Structure 1
Amino acid sequence: MQSEKRKTKILKTLSYKGQKIEYFLTLRDQKYIRLKLEDTNIFVSAPLTAYDWEIERLIYANIQKIQKIIDYKQKNQMFLISSKGFVKIEDQKIPAFFSEEIDKTNKMSFKIYETNEETIKRMYKKIALNYFGYFEKIIDKYKEIMDLDFKNLSIRTMKGKWGVCFPEKSKIVLNTRLIHYPKIALEYVVVHELSHLVHKNHSKDFWRHVEKYMPNYKNISEILKVNVL
């Protein structure tokens, strides 16, 4: 029973500039008080004999840094898994509903699975299906402007890449996560990948080709650097 108590997280609050700051406290057999952030949550582990004022002193000493990180993450949070959650679509927070039973009539209703990882994976699969037409419309627009064509468009989540072009297969893959960003960011990736049908590598000629159809591509590409994949 003693070991179970030591692993129990207690939700506590303190006040900072009129705001309530929540943190999760775990008491353990350890020498020092430790503080860490996970997403927008504050976690503190402390010795079994630690006083509340010692714990709060550490939080207050780091509160401005904590607040900056939390504010940044909240501003750039792409989705919130909750019964009253949201998913960013074109940089706008759209209400989304995560529960064990989904509403099949609502495309922003998502099923909760055993792990967050599985829930997120399934969420993106549903988004890819529901918003395929959105991606397709933009790529159709630019393939006409650029006088290019290809046979196969695929939308799926990828790590480290916003898009991939396979010129020999006449295939382009776009990252589902682009749905979170302003449309111009998706348009940049589309122009980038379509340009690979003409220039396979990132040569000077390739970038000149991109610039021809999107003169301010350098500024637009910065939008996608806000969140690292």
Structure 2
Amino acid sequence: MENKSLILGYTVVRKKIKNINLRIDSNLNVYISAPLNLDDYQIEKFIISKKAWIDKNIKRFSDYKDINKNLDTYENDSYIFFYGGKYRLVLKIGEKNIEFNDDDIVITNKIIDKESIKKIIYTDLYYPKARKLFVKRLDYYLELMSEKKDINLKISNIKSKWGLCIPQKREIRLNIDLMKKSIEEIDSVVVHEVAHLKHPNHSKNFYNEIDKYFKNYKEVNKKLNSRI
């Protein structure tokens, strides 16, 4: 049983729950779930107490949507990230080529569609650069953290993870989408995975190990996970 109403301009749904809850959807609409027996006055008090939080997060979500508008659609005048920078895609018909022009990446290809352009970006830009960069950064931190350089590095599209370490196999996997991130963010993932060679779990010792070599890890990790 649910009971929907409008209080102080917000949609309130009363249902069989114990506590009052609040959420903001992808269209920036605010919804409040409340217990069936909670009166309007108590709900109004809750809304007023959360008003600053609501306004702050609506602005944050709105800014996020603006920043990511036309991102990774692989269309003309859309945007992609590379090394932490945002670049506009300029698509032209012709023989396959990819070049940089200030803040534009100009891609020429006989076929201009989403799948073709995405494939070019990954196979001709991200993967070739990733192999050189990831090896360089991994070698640097292996030496710095007193680890042998006998690591099997794999680069792939890992779902929901930036990296993965399998200590018993001496294997580290890095997500190709790290090429969208800054060098500092990439380094934070490399240090994280190298630390797993000594500490397989996310223990206190594991984070102490990271802190020895990457002092602002928490700050950079937060930035890393703020968008993909």
Same fold per superposition (TM over 0.5): yes
Q: Tell me the residue number matched to 2:222.
A: 222
Whole-angstrom distance in 2 between the partners of 1:120 and 1:68: 29
Q: How many residues align?
A: 166
Q: Please tell me whether residue 87 in structure 1 is matched to residue 85 in structure 2.
A: no
Matches within 5 A, 1:91-106: 91-98=84-91, 103-104=96-97, 106=99
115-124 or 180-189: bigger deviation: 115-124
CA positional deviation for 1:150:
3.2
Q: What is the one-letter code of the residue matched to 1:93?
A: K
Question: CA, structure 1 residues 141+106, in 2 after alignment: closer, same or farther (shift >3 Å)?
Answer: same
For the aligned residues, what is the CA RMSD? 3.3
Residue equivalent to 1:32: none
Normalised by the length of structure 1, the TM-score is 0.59
Matched, 1:123 2:121: yes
Q: Which residue of 1 aligns with 2:151?
A: 151
CA distance in 2, matches of 1:112, 1:161: 34
Query: 67, 72, 83: which is aligned to 2:64?
Result: 72
1:118 deviates by 7.2
Q: 1:168 Cα deviation (Å)? A: 1.6
Q: Which runs of 5+ in 1 are unaligned?
A: 1-35, 38-64
SS of corresponding position for 2:173: strand
Distance 1:104 1:222, change over 3 A: same
Q: Deviations over 1:68-117 (max 9, x none)?
A: 75642342465452344443112212354456755246486376979746
Aligned to 2:9: none
Cα-to-partner distance string for 1:15-63 (whole Å, 9 max, x where unaligned): xxxxxxxxxxxxxxxxxxxxx96xxxxxxxxxxxxxxxxxxxxxxxxxx
Aligned mates of 2:185, 2:153 — CA distance in 1: 18
Q: Distance in 2 between matches of 1:80 and 1:135?
A: 26
Which residue of structure 2 aligns with residue 141 of structure 1?
140
CA distance in 2, matches of 1:97, 1:122: 13
Identical-residue share of aligned pairs (%) = 29
Aligned residue number for residue 212 of structure 1 = 212
